[in-house]
Amino acid sequence: MKDFIAGLPKCELHLHIEGTLEPSLKLELAERHGIALPYDGPDAIRAAYRFDSLPSFLRIYYEGMDVLRTEPDFYDLGTAYLRKAADQNVRYAEIFFDPQAHTSRGVPFATVIDGLHRALLDGERLLGVRSQLIMCFLRDRPAGEAMDTLLASLPHQDRIAGVGLDSDEKGNPPAKFAAVFERARREGYLLTMHCDVDQDDATEHIRQAIHDIGVDRIDHGVNALEDPALIAAIKDRGLGLTVCPISNGYVTGSTKSTQIRRMLDLGLRVTINSDDPAYFMGYVAENLAVVADELELTKEDLVLLQRNAFEITWLPRDVKDGYLAELD
């Protein structure tokens, strides 16, 4: 099944670009900027990756970003990911970025988006991987700061497909950002939002995301299975769910494969993604392999997961159809 997964044209829809910062690039960027890291090599960096919950992961994730400072840094980060994507036959990716994690350190918004966008252009031209950016707001920071970030993004809107919401969910429900997402929608952005797995008030957060915010997609959203009304709403609206099994394993102790099987059986548009692959040590092919193994997926199941993914992309219909035809 590994060879089948390797050859399958794939789509990645839940990937934080800052979560693709591999230890080797971290060291290279630290050297570029004369930053002394307390690690003597990639293995030492990896050995310090100890997390068993979302907050314990996020602490390490934000710390790691300090080496990202200039436009070429962001270009190199994006390019390194897109090379990996090309190696795994990822044909299309929608890529999250966290501008507040950089602007709060004094890195200008334009530096971040210029570097990432240049990487995306070259990724398509040189590697044949098409991609778009999704700007995420940090939900554990004030809603006013998210609104400021939204306004700062408007001059760059032609390079951003939509907006999302990530970081620590505890005590930070979708409703906190209702005005921000309403304005984002009015400005023409598509909307998605993390509803992380097994969070406090998980089903209420999913309800708010669907009914109060009107999201176009849900990132994770596994706990929707606990409420038949949420399942019905997701089905009626044709909402996609971007599930990340290996990430789930680290953050909750379970890959949630059983729930993925149930989503497939219910006919929901579930997709398999990698979240923060440099930290969780699995890109999309490894995530598909884990689920294929745990659920004994057939080739048809794996094709269906990719069909779901291309179907829920934020691409024009004719482009989607082109990718879907590759799966026939």
N-term to C-term CA, the chain: 18
* Nearest residue (CB) to ligand ADE, 8 versus 282: 282
Nearest CA to 165 out of 325, 316, 16, 323 is that of: 16
Whole-Å CA distances, 242 to 27, 221, 251 = 31, 8, 16
Taking CB under 5 A as the rule, does residue 12 contact Zn ion? no
Q: Phi, psi (5° rounding) for residue 106?
A: 90, 5
Least distance between Zn ion and beta carbon 270 (Å) = 15
Among 8, 25, 54, 246, binds ligand ADE (CB under 6 A): 54
Taking CB under 6 A as the rule, does residue 94 contact ligand ADE? no
Least distance between ligand ADE and beta carbon 231 (Å) = 22
Among 276, 278, 305, 313, binds ligand ADE (CB under 6 A): 276
Task: Round to whole Å and give the CA distance between 20 and 82.
Answer: 10
**Segment holding 265, helix H or strand E:** helix 257-265
150 three-state secondary structure: helix
Is 166 annotated in a binding site? The answer is no
Q: What is the dihedral of CA 6, 12, 14, 15, to 10 degrees?
A: 80
**Would you give the binding string for ligand ADE spanning residues 96-125, x where CB under 6 A is met?**
------------------------------
Task: Round to whole Å and give the CA distance between 79 and 59.
Answer: 25
Residues 265-284 that bind Zn ion (CB under 5 A): 275
How far is C-alpha 154 from the chain's CA centre? Answer: 21
Taking CB under 5 A as the rule, does residue 169 contact Zn ion? no
Query: Which of Zn ion, ligand ADE, none does 54 bind, CB closer than 5 to 8 A by kind?
Result: ligand ADE
Least distance between ligand ADE and beta carbon 218 (Å) = 13
Is 52 annotated in a binding site? The answer is no
Task: Round to whole Å and give the CA distance between 147 and 124.
Answer: 31
* Nearest residue (CB) to ligand ADE, 196 versus 216: 196
As annotated, the binding site for substrate includes: 276
List residues near Zn ion by CB under 5 A: 275
List residues near ligand ADE by CB under 6 A: 16, 19, 54, 61, 166-167, 194, 196, 247, 275-276
